[in-house]
Each structure stands twice: as structure tokens, then as C-alpha cells.
Amino acid sequence: MFSGKVALLALLALSSSVAFADQITLKNGDRLTGTIEKSDEKQLVIKTEFAGEVTVQWSAVQDIKSDQQLHVGLKNGQTVVGPVNTTDGKIQVSTKTTGNVEAPKENVVVMRSDAEQVAWERLRHPGLLQGWTGGVNVGFGLTAGNSETKNLALAFSGIRTGLHDKLTLYTTSVYATSATSTPNVTANNNKGGARYDRDITNRLFAFVNADFFTDALQDLNIRALGGGGLGVHVIKSDSTTLDILGGVNYTHENYTQESPPTGHLIHNFAAAMLGEALTHKLGKATVITQDAYFFPDFKSGGDYRATFDLGTVTKINKWLGWQNAFGDVYVTNPPTDKKRNDLVFTTGLNVSFTH
């Protein structure tokens, strides 16, 4: 008797889950059953039980049946909410307030589930502490015996993405000592900065940025620069973004000049800024970031600064990963007896966060 009730409840639960599942039919006759998450004029994403998220071309969709409430945006600017069906090539939305609303399939701009709609609204009007993703990198090394060295590398990066803007913050610090070398400190540099991007069109954006650097071994007390310009999203997809940027900036540099004449070497100049920034997801676990910038001095045509950064983060689990970072800063006019290149490589753990 008890087992019969259990079987009946299981059958009812199964039939209920089937009844409330969304279904799409493609033009080739294939059918997918699951939960429609979102669509635009190019793609539709449906979450299936066994295949996970499946993305299909919007043009390949023949029929849609959804018992859940979907937020449907039309080309005339109207947004209607309710279960969706397809009848004679038209999308039909059963709203609670105005009844059935029909529109040709080609007039549908977007569809979102309740969860996707909430996420989209948050992107439109995020709070100051909302929408952040990023990570903290920690690397430490120690040797003893024939050599005695210590090194510590710390880094933080955070990106707050809105619907039409993005704020990026970063800071890194590398410190190393060796008991068998002179001087004992073999690395001591710090950098940090911020950049704010605002979309003008889907591809074109404006940006402002500020960056700060110190490097004790190069006798750089401070390099501070601020500027802005325009950028183009050459590639903008879920797996890859490639931006090309151009603009101007003003730079202040203060070096300690140990060789005669002793004192401080000061550089103040305006410069152009040309660069590119790439982010690429390699498989499901690894993210590659790379950027390169060139700063030719307007005041002195032969002087410039160039930077190159390359990093990878490979996820170990949801919040922990392994990171590698390489950076190169080249300046044409350092203090006397100082090298023009500064190379830094760090590796260690990455602790990611999302808020």
C-alpha cells in the first residue's frame, strides 16, 4: 500500500515536470525539451536535463512552447510577459492583463526567463557593490642552504560590468630578497590603476584611466598617469573579447638620480596611447588575458614607454585556481646606469570572487 503511494507520487512528479517543461522544434524536425533561459535575434539558449545549456540559431527555430513566464521584447519597443506558444509562424504570448498578444517571429528582439530578466535589470541599474567579479593572487617562495631567498607576490583585480559600462580596478606588488646578493632586495615594485569604459555604440566605447607605478630597483619613486580616449570592440563574444584603444595621457615620473648629477630626475610629458587588450576562455577551466600598450612622448619624439602583460588562470574548483603572470615595462630614458627593461614573472594561487 505504502509503496503504491510512493509510485503514484513519483509518477505525478514526473508527469508534472514533463508538463511544465519548455520545448522548441527546429526546422529540421529536431526537438529540445528543457527550460528556455534567453534568446536574442541571433541565438536561443535552452537548459536541458542531460546536455546542460544548448545554444541554437534563432533562425533555425520553427516552434516554441513554454509554460513558464517569459519576458518578450518586440521591435516596436513593447515588452509582454507570459507563457509563449507559436501559431502559424507567429509568437503568441498569453499575458495576464491584455490577453493573447501575437507578433511575427522576426519581430521578437529578446526573450528572457524570470531569472534572466532579474539579472538583466541588475546590469541596467547595479548598486555600487553589485556586479563585481575578480580574484586575488598570492605567490610565495623560500629557499635555504646554498642560497637564502624570499619572495612574495600579491595581486588583486576586480571588474564591475554594467549593461553599457565597465569599471576595472587592479593592483600588484612583488617583493624579493636574497641574503647572498648585494643589494639584498632583488625586487620591489608596485603598480595599480583603474579604467572606466562607457559604450557609445555596440562596438565603439570611450574610456578614462589612471595608473600608478613604483620600482625601487629602477629608482622610480612614482610614475603617475591619467588619460582617456576611444576604443573598438573588434571581437565581443562569450569566449573572446579583443579591444583596440587609442588616446592621450599625461605622465609624471620621479626617479632618484644616484649618479652625478645626484638628486631627482623628473619627467612631465603628454603622450599618445595605443594598445590592445585580449581576453580568451580556453576550454572550461582556463582564462587567458593579454594586453600591450605603446606610449610615444609628444615632447621628445625619440622617447617612449611600452608595456606588455600576459596572464592565465586555471580553475581548480569554483573559487580556487592557479595563476601565472608575466609583465614587461620598457622605458627609453631611465636614470643613468639603470636598465630600460623590467621583467616580472609570478605564479601562485588565485582566489576568485563574484558579488
| Same domain, yes or no: 309 and 345 | yes
Q: What is the largest distance, in Å, between two alpha-carbon atoms of the chain?
A: 99
139 and 92, same structural domain? no
The grid cell for 342 is: 623590467
Give the number of C-alpha atoms closer than 13 A to the C-alpha of residue 188, restricted to the C-beta side: 13
Same domain, 173 and 114: no
- Residues 109, 181, single domain; the answer is no
Q: DSSP code of 299?
A: S
Instruction: Note the pLDDT tens digit of each residue in 161-192.
Output: 877 889 999 999 999 998 877 778 888 999 99
End position of a domain, from candidates 81, 101, 124: 124
Q: Are residues 187 and 318 in the same domain?
A: yes
Read off the pLDDT of residues 192-228 as tens digits, 9 standing for 90 and up. Answer: 999 999 999 989 999 999 999 999 888 899 999 999 9
| Domain assignment present for 269 | yes
179: buried, middle or exposed (CB in 10 Å: 19+, 13-18, 0-12)?
A: exposed
Q: Are residues 170 and 259 in the same domain?
A: yes
**Is there a contact between 263 and 247 (Cβ–Cβ < 8 Å)?**
no
**Predicted TM-score of the model (pTM):** 0.69
Q: What percent of the chain has pLDDT over 70?
A: 91
pLDDT tens column, 13-43: 444 444 448 999 999 999 999 999 999 888 9
The alpha carbon dihedral of 324, 327, 143, 136 has a sign of negative
**Which residue in 244, 225, 251, 217 sits closest to 335, CA to CA?**
217
Q: Tell me, yes or no, whether 9 lies in a domain.
A: no
Question: Mean pLDDT, to the nearest integer, of 130-151?
Answer: 82
The alpha carbon torsion through 151, 153, 154, 160 (nearest 10 deg) reads 180
CA 346 from centroid of its chain's CA atoms: 21
Would 10 be classed as within a structural domain? no
Residue 72 lies in a domain: yes
One domain for residues 222 and 346:
yes
57 shares a domain with 187: no
Residue 149 within a domain: yes
Final residue of a structural domain among 124, 157, 181: 124
Average pLDDT score over residue span 243-269: 87
Phi-psi region of 337 (alpha: psi -120 to 50; beta: other; left: phi over 0): left
Residue that finishes a domain, picked among 124, 148, 164 = 124
Strand partners, 56: 44
Percent of the chain with pLDDT over 90: 52
Residue 198 to residues 171, 206, 227, 243, Cα–Cα distance (Å):
22, 5, 14, 13
CA-based nearest residue to 164, from 110, 203, 214, 117: 203
**How many other β-carbons are positioned within 10 Å of the β-carbon of residue 295?**
22
- Please indicate, yes or no, if residue 4 is contained in any of the structural domains: no
**Domain limits at 71?**
19-124
Q: Which amino acid is at 306?
A: A
- Per DSSP, 301 falls in state T
Strands (E), 179-239: 185-199, 204-215, 220-236
Calculate the CA 233 to chain-centre distance: 13
CB atoms under 10 Å from CB of 257, counted, come to 16
First to last CA, the chain: 50
Measured CA to CA, the distance from residue 26 to residue 64 in angstroms comes to 9
Phi first, then psi: what are they for 179, rounded to 5°?
Answer: -70, -15
Q: What does residue 46 show for φ and ψ, rounded to 5 degrees?
A: -125, 135
Q: Are residues 253 and 111 in the same domain?
A: no
For residues 224 and 234, the answer to whether their CB atoms sit within 8 Å is no
The answer to whether position 11 is within a domain reads: no
Residues 139 and 282 in one domain: yes
Q: Judge whether 13 lies within some domain.
A: no
Please tell me whether residues 114 and 154 are part of one structural domain.
no
Q: What is the pLDDT of residues 35-91, one digit of tens each?
A: 999 998 889 999 998 888 899 999 899 999 998 999 999 988 889 999 999 888 789
Query: What was the pLDDT predicted at 289?
Result: 95
CATH number assigned to the domain comprising residue 239: 2.40.160.40
Count of H-run helices and E-run strands, the chain: 2, 21
Q: Per the structure, how many domains does the chain have?
A: 2
Residue 198 sits in the same domain as residue 305: yes
Residue 336 has pLDDT above 80, yes or no: no
